[in-house]
Amino acid sequence: MTFGNGHRGEPLDVIELRFPPLDELPPRRFLRARRGPLWPHVVLFLLTVVSTLAVGSEFAQSYAQNREPFSGDQNPLALMLLPFAHPRLLALGIPFSFTLLLILFAHEMGHYFACKRHGIDASYPYFIPAPTLFGTFGAVIRIRSPITTRRALFDVGLAGPVVGFLLAVPAMVYGVAAAKIVPGVQEHALILFGDLPLLRMLIAALHPGVDPASVLLHPVGRAAWVGLFVTALNLLPAWQLDGGHILFSLTSRNHRRISLGVAVALLVLGRYAWAGWYVWGTLLLVLSLRFRHPPLLDRWEPLGRGRRVWAMVALAMFLLCFILAPAISP
């Protein structure tokens, strides 16, 4: 190919380079997956098993005693530490711990296999043990190579919430079906967990006419509650949360603006609904201002109608799992 107006009026020779489209390149040619040591994953998982067993023990004992978890005069932290003084109590936490870890593991493996499908290098899940009311801060995977296309980013962001949701829903159904009806059960509770929209729907279907405040969930239902609320948090359309990835694949131009709007909205909710939103709002505000979402190599690739339908499914899951005040002190 030649252009005129070259040196002294001579034609200017230009080399034309042709590259195949990105979707015609085998994804695994971009880079070879790196294998890190397994011991950090194993150690963190075992620590999370212990921490969730300790919390699950309190959920099981409160269920057996017809009371809300962390009720009475004892400090919630003391109740969580009790199984370490009496190790046999840890076994009581198995239903809660197993269910919750299975939901979290499924969520992260949904991301992992979506990465593998698109040739993206990703680590195994890192579980995060924590001395919280649920024994964990969840789990994460580390993505170690670029996400090149809109479709790949969308699939990676969506896969985790969908897989986790599909496991959490039947667990919640069981938890509600096995729930006890105890009028006045919330009177002496130190902490009350809010009723997710999906939970209210299941209570109305399985226990018609019963006041939700009288329903004492089975420990499996408590684990499902955590899994569903984690799904809602991950689907917040902000920063590099799962919902943020989905948002970026839909509209990269507006991603940062919407992320900042979500952060401000959470700060407002912290004032009027639940103080914990102050933490989430501040984190997302700082992270959205400090770190931009990594760009895509091919941001012009169309998502297609099917993925846009799945985006609406993600929105429906968020609305079923999100609650303004997830925990309150009566």
What local confidence, expressed as pLDDT, does residue 74 receive?
A: 67
Residue 44 maps to a domain: yes
Residue 47 maps to a domain: yes
**What distance in Å separates the CA atoms of residue 10 and residue 307, rounded to the nearest whole number?**
52
Sequence letter at residue 286: V
Given a cut of 50, whether residue 221 has pLDDT beyond it is yes
pLDDT band at 83 (very low <50, low <70, confident <90, very high): confident
Given a cut of 50, whether residue 15 has pLDDT beyond it is no
Given a cut of 60, whether residue 196 has pLDDT beyond it is yes
Q: What are phi and psi of 180, to 5 degrees?
A: -100, 145
* Closest to 237 measured CA to CA, from 229, 228, 245: 245
Tokens 């909205």: give the residue.
Answer: 265
pTM: 0.89
State which residues form the domain around 21: 2-252+293-328
Structure confidence by residue, pLDDT tens digits, 26-63 = 444 444 556 789 999 999 999 999 999 999 999 999 99
Residue 330's SS3 state is coil
Residue 57 maps to a domain: yes
Given a cut of 80, whether residue 22 has pLDDT beyond it is no
What local confidence, expressed as pLDDT, does residue 85 receive?
A: 80
Structure confidence by residue, pLDDT tens digits, 265-288 = 999 999 999 999 999 999 999 999
- Total domains in the fold of the chain: 1
* Closest to 133 measured CA to CA, from 293, 330, 328: 328
Residue 151 maps to a domain: yes
Can you list the alpha helix ranges (DSSP code H) found in the chain?
39-64, 76-85, 94-117, 150-177, 197-206, 219-234, 242-250, 255-272, 276-290, 305-321
Q: What percent of the chain has pLDDT over 70?
A: 87
Residue 61 maps to a domain: yes
**What distance in Å separates the CA atoms of residue 31 and residue 146, rounded to the nearest whole number?**
10
Structure confidence by residue, pLDDT tens digits, 97-114 = 999 999 999 999 999 999
Joined together, the tokens standing for residue 211 give 């006041």
**What distance in Å separates the CA atoms of residue 296 and residue 193, rounded to the nearest whole number?**
39
Sequence letter at residue 76: P
Is the Cβ–Cβ distance between 199 and 220 less than 8 Å? no
For the chain, the residue count is 330
Mean pLDDT throughout 306-328? 97
Sequence letter at residue 59: F
Residue 126's SS3 state is strand
Residue 273 maps to a domain: no
DSSP state, 128?
E
Residue 283 maps to a domain: no
The alpha carbon dihedral of 170, 207, 221, 193 has a sign of positive
Residue 54 maps to a domain: yes
What local confidence, expressed as pLDDT, does residue 10 receive?
A: 44
Given a cut of 60, whether residue 316 has pLDDT beyond it is yes
Q: How far is CA 157 from CA 53, 168, 253, in A?
A: 29, 18, 18
